[in-house]
A and B are shown apart, each in its own frame.
Chain A
Amino acid sequence: MPSSPSAWKRISLFLNRLEEILLGSFLILMVLLGFLQILFRNVISVGLYWIDPLMRHMVLWLALLGASVATRENRHISIDLLSEKLGHKNRSYLQGGINFFAAAICLILVWPAIRFVQEEYEVGKILAFNIPIWASQSVIPLMLTVLGLRFLSKTWNAFTRRREFLSSEQSNTTRI
Chain B
Amino acid sequence: MGLISSLLTVFLALIGTPLFIVIAFSGLIFLFINGIDLTAMVIELYKLAHTPMLVALPLFSLAGYILAGSKAPDRLVRLSNALLGWLPGGLAVIALGVSAIFTAMTGATGLTIIAMGGLLFPALKTQKYPEKFSLGLLTTSGTLGLLFPPSLPLILYGVVAQTSIDQLFLAGILPGLLMVFLLSLYSSWKGFQAKVARPRFTVKEVGRALRESIWEIPLPFVVLGGIYTGIVAISEAAVLTVLYVLIIEVGVYRDIKIRELFPIITKSSILVGGILIILGVSFGLTNTLINEEIPMKILDFLKLHVQSPVTFLIWLNLFLLGAGCLLGMFPALIILVPLIVPVAQAYDLHPVHLGIILLTNLEIGASLPPLGINLFISSIRFERPVLDLYRASIPFILILLLTLALITYLPVISLFFL
Cα A25 to Cα B29 with chains together (Å) = 36
Number of A-B contacts (CB under 8 A): 201
**For the complex of A and B, 5 pairs with smallest distance between CB atoms:** A66-B273, A34-B239, A63-B276, A76-B18, A60-B49
How many angstroms between the C-alpha atoms of A30 and B61 in the bound complex?
Answer: 12
Chain A interface size, as a band, is: 35 or more
Give min CB distance, B69 to chain A, whole Å.
15
Let me know if B119 is at the binding interface, CB within 8 A.
no
Which residue of A34, A63, A83, A115 is within 8 Å of B16 (Cβ)?
A: A83
- By a CB distance below 8 angstroms, the chain A residues around B42 are 109, 112-113, 116, 140
Interface locus among B50-58, B150-158, B208-216, B335-343 = B50-58
Shortest distance from the beta carbon of B229 to any chain A beta carbon, whole Å: 10
- Nearest B residue to A60 via CB reads B49
A38 touches B236 (CB 8 A): yes
A105-B24, A136-B49, A140-B45 in contact; A69/B273 too (CB < 8 A)?
A: yes
Segment at the interface with A among B76-84, B260-268, B315-323: B260-268
Q: Are A56 and B49 in contact (CB under 8 A)?
A: yes
Check if B18 sits within 8 Å of A78, measured CB to CB: yes
B14 within 8 Å of A (CB atoms): yes
Contact B272 A66 (CB under 8 A): yes
Contacts of A123 in B (CB 8 A): none
18 contacts between A and B (CB under 8 A): A31-B239, A38-B236, A59-B276, A60-B46, A60-B48, A60-B49, A62-B272, A66-B271, A68-B273, A69-B269, A76-B21, A77-B278, A82-B14, A98-B18, A109-B38, A112-B41, A112-B42, A176-B383
Partner of B15, one of A58, A94, A137, A174: A94
CB-CB under 8 A from A30, the residues of chain B are 55, 58-59
Decide if B270 touches A38 in the complex (CB within 8 Å).
no
Distance of A43 Cα from B42 Cα, bound (Å): 40
Smallest CB gap from B280: residue in A: A63
A105 to B376, CA, bound (A): 21
Q: Which residues of A contact B54 (CB under 8 A)?
A: 56, 59
List of B residues within 8 angstroms of A70 by Cβ: 270, 273-274, 277
Chain B interface residues (CB < 8 Å from chain A):
12-21, 24-25, 28, 37-39, 41-43, 45-46, 48-52, 54-55, 57-59, 62, 231-232, 236, 238-240, 242-243, 246, 262, 265-266, 268-274, 276-280, 370, 376, 379-380, 383-387
Check B231 against A65 for contact (C-beta < 8 Å): no
Least CB separation from A103: chain B residue:
B21
In the complex the two chains form, is B385's CB within 8 Å of A27's CB? no
> Contact between A24 and B16 (Cβ–Cβ < 8 Å)?
no
Known: A78-B16, A78-B19, A101-B12. A38 touches B28 (CB 8 A): no
A77 to B384, CA, bound (A): 9
For B52, the chain A residues whose CB sits under 8 A away are 52, 56
Interface string of A152-176 (1 = CB under 8 A from B): 0000000000000000000000111
Q: Is A4 an interface residue (CB 8 A)?
A: no
A102 in contact (CB, < 8 A)? yes
Which one of A35, A108, A116 has the greatest number of beta carbons of chain B within 10 Å?
A116
B16 and A80 form a contact (CB under 8 A): yes
Does A146 have its Cβ within 8 Å of any Cβ on chain B? no
Residue A34 contacts which of B28, B50, B57, B238 (CB distance < 8 angstroms)? Answer: B238
A34:B236 contact, CB within 8 angstroms: yes
Q: Indicate if A149 sits at the interface (CB-CB under 8 A).
A: no
Cβ A176 vs Cβ B379 within 8 A = yes
Q: Is the CB of A176 within 8 A of B386?
A: yes
A37 within 8 Å of B by Cβ?
A: yes
Residue of A whose beta carbon sits closest to that of B43: A116
> Are the CB atoms of B18 and A81 closer together than 8 Å?
no
State whether A65 and B269 are in contact (beta carbons under 8 Å apart), knowing that A60-B46, A76-B274, A108-B38 are contacts in the complex.
yes
